[in-house]
Amino acid sequence: MELTFWGVRGSFPVARPHARRFGGNTPCVQVTAEGNHVVIDAGTGIRRLGQRLLSQGCPRELTLLISHPHWDHIQGFPYFEPAYEPEIEISIFSILRDEDKLETLFSGQQHVAFFPTPLEQLPSKVRFLELEEGRPQDVAGFQILTHRLNHPGVSSGYRLERDGLVLAYVCDVAPSRDVLLADPRPGVSEEAFLQELFENQVRLAEGADLVIYDTFFTPAEYAERRHWGHSTLEDGLEICRLAGADHLFMFHHNPERRDEELAILYEEARRMGESQGLNVHVACEGQTWKLERGGLTACE
């Protein structure tokens, strides 16, 4: 399994010198395995992924998994050039949504007031599909599981499994101990639902080789912004410990976070991880990693 980070920044794209080293594009992660191909989230990073795909002979069928429809996770899609190729089919998945269907929201993003080409006029064949929560399904050569997370609205994380290798994408997520941010589940108390959302993180990361986690905040920042829907490294360490995961990637970096600050946080995180037998990495735009039975290696 190989993964490439095309966008690692949270909230909005940051084209400023302070974010140049780790990258300013909003979330997009490409996962490939023996010709199978899945893209997680469609932040601005997906624009350059699309160009790369077209220059290398784009697969005819592309699969996108969308964690949730906040701008930073969908805003790159109108600029995804394979969507303008008539022979390409794009399947866009989300967790089952009772209202605010993803298709409606993608269509709203491309309303003529905001963007010149309506979704319905894209030359490629775009279809929207939904995954039932908690039921693993075979999609594009991976077994894929999704669970809801504690983040405003309806958002979900993903677990991708293939040949005994497991990658989990747990982002955007707030700690499930203080405030319920997710749309409530009818008939379930707030407390019980928070507990369920906490356990969902562990279910997604259970025995994972690699967990991509929302480490937007430092603990001090979180204390002041508990309703924003993001976590800290410490939350990620706890989930990985409970789930018995091997590698954690710090991801969805705060737009204000300066490169030198992030480098220091990463050094601290690495040491904290070591003390619990976890390998901590920081997601950096443009980097590709190879995950094999024997371990994880960075590709040049």
Partner 1 sequence: METGKGRSDGVRVTFWGVRGSIPTPDEPQARYGGNTPCVLLSCSEGTLISLDGGMGFRWMTADLMAGKAGRGEERLHLMLAHCHWDHIQGIPFSPMMYVAGNRVTIHGRQSFEGGLKETLLHQVNPSYCPVPNFFLLRDVGATVEFHEITDPVFHVGPVRVTSLELPRGNRLACSGYRFEDQDLTVAYLTDVEYPLGDPGTSSAALELARGADLLIHDAQFLPEEVQERVNWGHSTWRQAVELGNMAGCRRVALFHHDPGRTDDQLDALEVEAARLARGPEVFVAREGLALDL
The residue within the footprint of partner 1, chosen from 10, 27, 50, 69 (CB under 8 A), is 69
Under the criterion CB under 8 A, does residue 111 sit at the interface with partner 1?
A: yes
Map residues 19-38 to x or -, x wherever contact with partner 1 holds by CB under 8 A. Answer: xx--xxx-------------
What is the nearest approach in angstroms of partner 1 to the Cβ of residue 220? 18
What is the nearest approach in angstroms of partner 1 to the Cβ of residue 251? 16
CA–CA distance, 226 with 179 (Å, rounded to integer): 7
Under the criterion CB under 8 A, does residue 50 sit at the interface with partner 1?
A: no
Stretch that binds partner 1, among 27-35, 69-77, 132-140, 202-210 (CB under 8 A): 69-77
The residue within the footprint of partner 1, chosen from 115, 133, 188, 223 (CB under 8 A), is 115
Under the criterion CB under 8 A, does residue 298 sit at the interface with partner 1?
A: no
Under the criterion CB under 8 A, does residue 220 sit at the interface with partner 1?
A: no
Stretch that binds partner 1, among 8-16, 27-35, 53-61, 238-246 (CB under 8 A): 8-16
CA–CA distance, 236 with 248 (Å, rounded to integer): 8
CA–CA distance, 113 with 288 (Å, rounded to integer): 37
Interaction residues for partner 1, span 133-162 (CB under 8 A): 152-153
Under the criterion CB under 8 A, does residue 236 sit at the interface with partner 1?
A: no
Q: Which residue's CB is nearer to partner 1, number 69 or number 175?
A: 69
What is the nearest approach in angstroms of partner 1 to the Cβ of residue 73? 10
Under the criterion CB under 8 A, does residue 14 sit at the interface with partner 1?
A: yes
Under the criterion CB under 8 A, does residue 71 sit at the interface with partner 1?
A: yes
Stretch that binds partner 1, among 103-111, 126-134, 245-253, 274-282 (CB under 8 A): 103-111
| Three-class secondary structure assignment of the chain | CEEEEEECECCCCCCCHHHCCCCCCCCEEEEEECCEEEEECCCCHHHHHHHHHHHCCCCCEEEEECCCCCHHHHCCHHHCHHHHCCCCEEEEEEECCCCCCHHHHHHHHCCCCCCCCCHHHCCCEEEEEEECCCCCEEECCEEEEEEEECCCECEEEEEEEECCEEEEEECCCCCCCCCCCECCCCCCCHHHHHHHHHHHHHHHHCCCCEEEEECCECHHHHHHCCCCCCCEHHHHHHHHHHHCCCEEEEECECCCCCHHHHHHHHHHHHHHHHCCCCEEEECCCCCEEEEECCEEEEEC
Q: Which residue's CB is nearer to partner 1, number 12 or number 124?
A: 12
Q: Which residue's CB is nearer to partner 1, number 77 or number 169?
A: 77
Q: Residues 6 or more apart from 300 whose CB is under 8 A from it?
A: none
Q: Which residue's CB is nearer to partner 1, number 68 or number 159?
A: 68
Under the criterion CB under 8 A, does residue 12 sit at the interface with partner 1?
A: yes
CA–CA distance, 243 with 206 (Å, rounded to integer): 4
Contact residues: partner 1, CB under 8 A: 9, 11-17, 19-20, 23-25, 44, 47-48, 69-71, 74-76, 78-79, 100, 105, 108-109, 111-116, 152-153, 229, 255
